[in-house]
Structure 1
């Protein structure tokens, strides 16, 4: 907003001003002051444009129409008026301009309700919500909605109301009437020989009459099984049985709804009988852009189709999605699906009610079917859900040498054979970890796949899943390995990386004692680590005249693990921690299970087969 001065002769009333298009306001109370001192209070204005360009010095008054009218009147009377102070709004800020005009008039003198409706309707068009309007003007939302309801009236009815030719109670009822009813009421109002229905009489005329004109029927009168009566002149006819009429009308209304859906409308909503369609709560949206049809039904059976509308919220959502699709098309990307503008069939609370009761029923029955529960559990672990965030162990090595050693180990080769077999069974990618592969259907799809497998195969899948998600360096590894009495010597032999990583002279000497005996270890106690490692390798390989030692597994790798020194060793500490947990634990006798349909994995390492 900018402050400036302008010549009143180059200023006009803005279409956004509440007084635009109305007779000049009475300014007799302020003309003497303006003639003597000029305009002191700034007027809120917008720049005027011609052919897309700003007209220098020309402004349209948004708020201050009375001051401008008085100043121009004094100029016409020959009074010399100085340039008037103005506040120039930024271009395009129409909503702020409308609010400013309305606020000024509300503080000076409350405008008539139709003028207020016109201003509110413009604000709605600019994107304001009834809640925002109520907050801006310190009104209740009910007052704003009641004012906006004047938009349901024919323009002539609003003019009559503005001139106070129609009272408030009557106009309120007419906002609930259909357009044809409003036209009929105006015809009665214009006929001097008829009594215009007002008040309770109007309510009965609109909603309470038992006589339902046949012209409102959506169905063929030839197929109507009930009686129909006509007036003396035969111009109008009526149904004598309202109940039978509504039965036929509702059936025809359902058919009309299906026909509109078949025409390509995104949705067709049938309003409750007697409920009017509030156009001011909706925005025009074409069929191609997801517009809906609303069918309003009057108490007298008249059906009015309001085609091509969405609620303001739905329209904004549709515009946002359309903008995203347009951006994607501009970038050469495939457009997304059509925006979902339909309101849900149930409320959020009702949806929660349905979800919780179904959840309770399923998990209660699931406890009676542990085999199904096992499959569902494995499916969750494989595909994950928002409550299951299972990830395969990253197997972080810290160095390339360690990574290569672990990858080349016989134990890893054995696991990968089982992994590939399970992936083939489930149709998963064998080159990736099984856990986290979200294929079509997610966890539900994996569950459906597992339901068709025998227990032995499901347990095999579970074993691979557990193997992938077992955390390296965890107490769980120690617990499982100790319980299973894993023989590391069957799946591991000392490799180059093992010897290269050894740095502790005391530990190496203790290993040398295990392999070569106390005499050899004591005799090399003061030797360098490198020398002792060489002697250790000679014993393991049977080289340099050293006798070849039997199969050896360092205490670091055995289950349970042990340390060679009194200094901290994390693996041994974990082994000691789990030992009390496993004391006295025995597996139950295995139940008879059907054989697995999977072919046994061919293990490339004979040592593993021997260990089995």
Structure 2
């Protein structure tokens, strides 16, 4: 590379220049200094075929500034230039990109355009990464933008689409991208973004490939590769769980073969509580607990006894018998069905009780993270039938009315699926705050009720506390449907349900019938068909507030949560603080009437 002063008339902008475009660049920030001192930093140029003309690889803005000064009647003298070797387009592209990266970080779309040209000219991703001081994965992420339709890529370059949304769109098919783009362009439609887009594209919550404890080489299902994360995730959750469950059972058998006295699998709706267990050895009767999370992650806790068992052993009161693991009363999908329906009913009542919602929200603010990371409780399940059951429920229909009223007050799109995180106002949070400052306190309380209801976690102790406090009558919100009956597969439980609706004699008479027949009899009692006595407003025990079980086997998540909530409420009543003066806590009369309306 050599330095020379080259006349303006012998310079032109190279097609390899990453800033090359028909539209002249913005030079307002550098033009004043060029007028006074000229161009001080050399342009990167290379011969363009003739003996005395050159094309600019980097320095397009300096060149245009110098040209403008010359047109104004100022200096038209030569410009300082660093001359590259002739002919290597890839090297010229790299030189242009390196200089621009140093001076001003180009957006990812601009980097993609340049990296794509380098790939076409023979550069590999690893070579590009070495040249620009990036890791190969970062280069791969930028090149992945090539999977996007051009209109989406341009919108991302204009910052109309956020990075999280683009990340998921790079994994979508062209047909899916076209469908999403149509929603994005339609001012009357809602285009899902971020995590909602991922669920829209791939059908619900995703499970990471890293969660698998089975050999991925033997997995027959599909996985989605994600260049933006450490690994991919499973396209079909049901296929994953089939393989994961088989691997868990195989691991359990392996533990038993290796001499462990007992291995217990903790279902998705429960957790291994270390505080309620004590570490011990295999020789002293320690068992293995396999903890399975809803995200598919599996944790193995080796060598533990319950605290009660450990104390009994210490005092010599053990009978020597090992507790036999029992089958949970209800399955994981049924637990999810119950949790979502009870959650839907509670949040419907909570949205109509803003003063309770205020207290729940304050508790969230105090006990949450310092930045209060807000997430919306998705009203969906891995099973399509459960999702449909929730979407068509009375609770969801009533809550949707409250949500639409709030969307209208805030000036949001009436078809937004949620108020929380569902709409990006023109001026962000500041614009939303200005809107809220203009509405009455009573209306803000109604908005608060809906937002708190949307962010209330299903299956949590809070649902149990609120269900009791708000006197939620599940019979007002739920009736048995096909999804419910499909999830009941345990004969003992079915017999108990039939006893509930038809009486002990009918249950005993049909004890040996097929489960399909028993379900039909239960359904007849609920509808009054086929000569059966109709049972009005029937609820399975799991659904009620507070809930209870049909067997002693356990495994009913709502019952466990209710017992914890009851314990906390009893403890809270024993140490209840002095109440504030009624005048301090009571809402204004007109505010009560506004909320009631």
- The alignment's TM-score, normalised by the length of structure 1, stands at 0.38
Larger radius of gyration: 1
| Structure with more contact order per residue of length (Cα contacts < 8 Å, sep ≥ 6) | 2
